Amino acid sequence: MKKIITILLLVSIIFLDSKSVYAITNQEKQLFYKTVEAEVTGAGYESKLRVANVILNRVNSPKFPNTVGKVIKQKGQFSCIADGRMSKAVPTDSAKQAVDDALEGRWVISSKVLFFNEIGCDSYASRNKVLWGKDKVHEFYYE
């Protein structure tokens, strides 16, 4: 019986530590939906998925807080909070799908990408980080 419990515990730890499983509250999920929508309003699913991936990459990074809510609320990190877009955002189905897919482990960027900004924006990342790639809306940067 002890061996079975030990094996189950080890399997649980491995499963919970994998990239595709995140402990997230419903409140954090709603915040995640709104953040992705506000940051990428009008863009397609793939752009929204990339932004969701960056947020989860930060959760996984020792350089950032370890929960979705804390990453999103960290001061100065998301322009949609600073400029008020987030308070008005109504998540679309594509934003919700992008977040849900990211939480289930769908990745379309490197796990080392921790920053993004609008194309052409003069930012800390654009001045100090290595460009990973860009889409129609954002440029994405390695840590």
- At 85, give phi and psi (nearest 5°): -60, -35
Residues with Cβ within 8 Å of 44's Cβ and at least 6 positions away in sequence, in order, are 94
What is the predicted pLDDT for the residue at 4? 46
Is the pLDDT confidence value at 9 over 80? no
Q: SS3 for 73?
A: helix
Residue 20 identity: S
Residues with Cβ within 8 Å of 7's Cβ and at least 6 positions away in sequence, in order, are none
pTM: predicted TM-score of the whole model, two decimal places:
0.83
| Average model confidence (pLDDT) across the chain | 87
What is the three-state SS of 73-102?
HCCCCCHHHHCCHHHHCCCCHHHHHHHHHH
Instruction: Compute the distance between CA of residue 132 and CA of residue 109 in angstroms, rounded to an integer.
Output: 8
What is the predicted pLDDT for the residue at 42? 87
pLDDT (mean) for 35-53: 95
pLDDT (mean) for 14-42: 79
Name the residue among 33, 25, 16 with its Cα closest to residue 100: 33
